[in-house]
Amino acid sequence: MHRTVSLVLAGVLVCVSSTVASAQQGGKPELTAEQWQQVDALLGEMTLREKAGQMVQLTLGAISSQLKNATDEHVLDVDKARAMVAESGIGSILNAADVAMPPEQWREIVTTLQEIAVEESAHGIPLIYGVDSVHGANYILGATIFPQNLTLAATWNTDLAHAMGRVTADETRAVGIPWNFAPVADVKRHPAWSRVFETLGEDPYLAGELAVAQIRGMQEPDGPDSLVLAATAKHFVGYSEPRTGRDRTPASIAHQDLEDIFVLPFRMAVDAGVRSIMVNSGEVNGVPVHANPVLLTDLLRDDLGFEGVVVTDWEDIGKLVNFHGAAADEREATRLAVEAGIDITMAPFSVSFIDHVVDLVESGELSESRIDASARRIIALKFELGLFESPLPPAGEIERIGSPEAALASLETARQGIVLLENGEGTLPLASDGPILIAGPMADRLAPLHGSWTYSWQGTDEALYPKTPTILDAMRERFGADRISTDQADAGGASAIVLCIGEDPSTEQIGDITDLTLDDAQLELVRSFEDASAPVILVLVTNRPRVITPIADIADAVLWLGQPGPYGPEALAEIVAGDVNPSGHLPFSYPQFVNALVLYNHKPSEVSEVGGSPAGKYNPLYAFGHGLSYTTFEHSGLEAVRSGDTVRVSVEVSNTGSVDGDDVVQVYVSDPPNPVTPRVKRLVGFDRVSLAGGSSERVTVEIPLDRFQRADATGINTLYTGTYIIRVGELESAIELE
């Protein structure tokens, strides 16, 4: 029933003993008693300075030769590397210097650095190299690129999230990198935020399930030749609802929302054994998270039970001084961040942290045991990742990068992640074999389909991209070049007009915008087809939901792609042709208005009947969970039964059309009234089912009772008593919890 993508990844038997990780809760490395003794023996031999060194992570650019042009080939500066790795004794390096590199070059770099660390540093402790492989190994040329997380989330398919994690682990570890700064566990809230595409959507439970599947895919071997990574859930916590909508600006979050919306996916990730956590660069409720022991220690360590490694985000100790105004100088910022709970500073250019820590411990402002705790976690993770036994990239593994099976997993994710939002009068699939006009700025480009974190940080440099098909190429391939025109003057004779609109890739502060509405030039382009006799099909390629309300009425059909990756165009052409039945469902509310910040799981008082204006309603252009198909599904016979600690929800799903298709059964609950006010509804379970045309199936979703908990006004998870209404589509069923 549950669609599974079976992935057999190419590759010979692994020569490295990369043994992360089982689903141990809390993310503590699983070492034998003897290995823990080795960790402690090593720690016992280390000086304070050496332990502080383990806590420093530098970017590759800090030890690279100065490039004349960004496009010049990267050259490691071995003298600088020696100074930092052997003499200063740093414990970690991250990322590409600027742009993606071929696997061979990665392996050379990692090999040189590990040789320096093992042969020339004080105790021969290997480095732990970390990278942002956030949608596939996007900094390794030739690796498999996947859709961005938001498109993945539209599949509502944990098997695909797992497959993405697995491929990412195999292809990243193949070059010797054992640590990934993924998945993003931030829940999309503010629609204008520049990192919406990096999230797994608006619902914390859906995001949590998909993040956990990615983590398991990365961390847990699924066969003797699997390579594994330590995953990082980021950015803890409350990053995604900046009040201004701009990146890294302050958030004000009530205790209840913090727990129910923002913490939940991290809690799920920690329970699944995620090995590291990256901290939110912003400020929450008046304190930058990097300086907040309540969030980083009381909540993360004591409440969530996290025992793995906490890494700062980029330069965030320095930013406590020069960005937040939280500390007078870097020494003070170092004390604040270490006391708050960080283990590794993503410095990323300087080793001044080491001097500060030594000075702070010697002056009695920081305890040495606090430094020991961090160094122990870092060294234990290195042990668990097999770096002490095999610090070098595993031999003979380049072959496994970019396999056809992995490409298929990416293609399948794009197919299931594309959402058919509108399909007036059965516009799609295209029935006629007449000419097709294709226009719009996204039609013949690669970067917007891939998004940021593709071969470079912002992903905008198409010169770095392999020549995969654009939408135009894929449509020509599927429908025949002679049927496709790009000349807008041909609109009169066209049988369909496909307009590919959206935005260029961008992320973080570079991606901040002042207006969520699609730009005027693109609105005008669509308006110019207002009187066309052929149906207008909008194809949306966006980082975040750009408002299209002024032109929505012109469209006969609308397809949302988000950033579907290199196989998005092929998947789109298959859907337009009817070879693939669309099955994606929006993992966010698509706003109708720029100011509409009400999300699907809002409080009752966020909407109002007063005045009857749409402004007072949950009134998205397309609601959370919406997605059409070429067939029709009906739900009937909803039953919800509590048995012990489980609520079993079952519903009859019928494919009432003649075409085979997938439905996503979405189970919501509306909580009983309480002075700690509930949300109107929230997702508590889901399942994707494949049904042949005309067939039916009873689908059962098991929901553990603790998923019905929600935070009280102080943020403590509570199971309130009363009548809970279980909802699937229009159906309702009540259960009593005493």
Between 247 and 504, whose beta carbon lies closer to ligand BGC? 247
Between 185 and 691, whose beta carbon lies closer to ligand BGC? 185
Between 257 and 313, whose beta carbon lies closer to ligand BGC? 313
Alpha-carbon distance of 333 to 335, in angstroms, equals: 5
Q: Does 138 bind ligand BGC (CB under 6 A)?
A: no
Taking CB under 6 A as the criterion, which residues in 209-228 touch ligand BGC? none
Q: Does 323 bind ligand BGC (CB under 6 A)?
A: no
Using CB under 6 A as the binding criterion, the count of chain residues that bind ligand BGC stands at 7
Q: Does 283 bind ligand BGC (CB under 6 A)?
A: no
Q: How far is the CB of 197 from ligand BGC (least distance, A)?
A: 13
Count how many residues are written for the chain. Answer: 738
Give the distance between the most distant pair of CA atoms in the chain: 81
Query: What does the buried/exposed string (b/e) look like for 710-721 if buried means 16 or more CB atoms within 10 Å of the residue's CB?
Result: bbbeebeebebe
Q: How far is the CB of 377 from ligand BGC (least distance, A)?
A: 19
Q: How far is the CB of 240 from ligand BGC (least distance, A)?
A: 12
61 CB-side CA count, 13 A: 13
Please tell me whether the peptide bond between 591 and the residue prior to it is cis, using omega within 30 degrees of 0.
no
Between 60 and 573, whose beta carbon lies closer to ligand BGC? 60
DSSP H or E run through 159: helix 158-173
Between 313 and 330, whose beta carbon lies closer to ligand BGC? 313
Q: Does 314 bind ligand BGC (CB under 6 A)?
A: yes
Q: Which of 50, 98, 132, 662: binder of ligand BGC (CB under 6 A)? A: 132
Query: What does the buried/exposed string (b/e) look like for 158-169 if buried means 16 or more CB atoms within 10 Å of the residue's CB?
Result: bbbbbbbbbbbb
| Residue 459 amino acid letter | G
Q: How far is the CB of 587 from ligand BGC (least distance, A)?
A: 20
Cβ(264)–Cβ(309) under 8 Å?
A: no
Q: Which residues pair with 39 in a beta bridge?
A: none
**CA angle 685-690-694, nearest 5°?**
120
**Sign of dihedral through CA atoms 580, 581, 586, 591?**
positive
Alpha-carbon distance of 349 to 344, in angstroms, equals: 14
Q: Which of 179, 181, 388, 567: binder of ligand BGC (CB under 6 A)? A: 181
Q: Is residue 313 annotated as part of the catalytic site, yes or no?
A: yes
Q: How far is the CB of 196 from ligand BGC (least distance, A)?
A: 14
Q: Which of 313, 473, 556, 671: binder of ligand BGC (CB under 6 A)? A: 313
Between 95 and 468, whose beta carbon lies closer to ligand BGC? 95
Taking CB under 6 A as the criterion, which residues in 231-250 touch ligand BGC? 234
Q: Please, where are the H alpha helices in 623-731? A: none
Between 296 and 711, whose beta carbon lies closer to ligand BGC? 296
Alpha-carbon distance of 104 to 81, in angstroms, equals: 19
* List 98, 186, 313, 687, catalytic entry: 313
Q: How far is the CB of 177 from ligand BGC (least distance, A)?
A: 13
**CA angle 574-561-543, nearest 5°?**
160
Q: Does 508 bind ligand BGC (CB under 6 A)?
A: yes
CA distances from 399 to 82, 396, 468, 611 (A): 30, 7, 20, 64
Helix (H, G, I), strand (E, B) or coil at 138: coil
Q: Does 679 bind ligand BGC (CB under 6 A)?
A: no
Q: Which two tokens stand for residue 343?
A: 């283990």
Q: How far is the CB of 668 from ligand BGC (least distance, A)?
A: 31
Which residues neighbour 32 within 8 Å (Cβ) at sequence distance 6 or greater? none
- Other C-beta atoms lying within 10 Å of the C-beta of residue 202: 26
Q: How far is the CB of 491 from ligand BGC (least distance, A)?
A: 43
Alpha-carbon distance of 200 to 587, in angstroms, equals: 7
Q: Does 512 bind ligand BGC (CB under 6 A)?
A: no
Residue carrying structure tokens 């807008």: 488
Q: Which of 54, 64, 92, 95: binder of ligand BGC (CB under 6 A)? A: 95
Between 403 and 456, whose beta carbon lies closer to ligand BGC? 456
Catalytic residues, which ones? 313
Binding site for ligand BGC (CB under 6 A): 95, 132, 181, 234, 313-314, 508
